[in-house]
Amino acid sequence: MTIYKMNKLMINGKNKILFSAIIFPFFFLAACSSTGKPGYEIKYYLLDYPAPVFKTLPQLNSTVRFNRFTIAAAYNTQNMIFRADNYSIDYFSYNRWAVNPADMVADMLLRDMQASKFFHAVFSRYSSEGTNYLIEASVGEFFLRTESSQKVAVLCLEVTLKDARRKEVNKRVVYQKKYRHEELLSEQTPRGYSQAMSHALSKVSEQIIVDIYQAIKSAR
């Protein structure tokens, strides 16, 4: 082997070692940054409360199905919103609702209506069963009001009951009503916010179910 070839091999070998020394740490650092855990943990919250207990009433031979609930654009997020006044809005950085508030409200109200035994059957929005009545709702307010001396969970929900059997669109609405409740936080934390909002919904849910029962009973 000539001296020229030997020198060339030695140079190439050094280049390969130098290349490896530069590239391998780069990939190692990239792998650590892409797979490493973040420096904070996001916590997720749900609404929860016992289903309301009603006095015994005759069960109506009517079926009810939920349509998907809507929500005001400002609250159409999993962020746990809080507001100090009418012109500002903010949210917790590391605490969120587990699902969209409109879906949480609908799920809890569906459970409560089924547990009441007031109706022959109550179906979710995923059901394809035919039904007598449809329930639609829009969440208008869903936030924590932060005042100087206290914090209050604010819930506002507009509910519409429709007779699915009527062909005339303008005659389908049986009743429409807005429900609003404010609940003072007993614990000044995101968990306390979740608990207060749950209690607010429990009060609203109870009234909604009674009103729907009376509306269907009167419309029969």
Please, what is the average pLDDT of the chain? Answer: 85
pLDDT tens digits, residue range 69-113? 999 999 999 999 999 999 999 999 999 999 999 999 999 999 999
Q: What is the 3-state secondary structure (H, E, C) of 37-71?
A: CCCCCCEEECCCCCCCCCCCCCCEEEEEEECCCEE
pLDDT at 190: 94
pLDDT tens digits, residue range 146-171? 988 899 999 999 999 999 888 877 78
Lowest mean pLDDT among 11-20, 107-116, 178-187: 11-20
Axis-axis angle for helices 190-219, 101-116 (nearest 10): 50
pTM of the model: 0.79
pLDDT at 22: 39
For residue 148, give the 3-state DSSP assignment.
coil
Residue 117 has pLDDT above 60, yes or no: yes
pLDDT at 25: 40
For strands 43-45 and 90-97, give the pairing: parallel
Domain 43-219, CATH class in plain words: alpha beta
Alpha helices in 54-189 (DSSP H): 101-116
pLDDT at 130: 85
pLDDT at 186: 93
Local confidence band at 9 (pLDDT 50, 70, 90 cut-offs): very low
Local confidence band at 194 (pLDDT 50, 70, 90 cut-offs): very high
Residue 62 has pLDDT above 90, yes or no: yes
pLDDT at 165: 85
pLDDT tens digits, residue range 27-49? 333 334 444 555 689 999 999 99
Locus of tokens 């409200």: 105
pLDDT at 16: 44
CA distance 110 to 118: 12
For the chain, the structural domain boundaries read 1-36, 43-219
Locus of tokens 């009167």: 218
pLDDT at 39: 66
For strands 60-66 and 70-71, give the pairing: unpaired
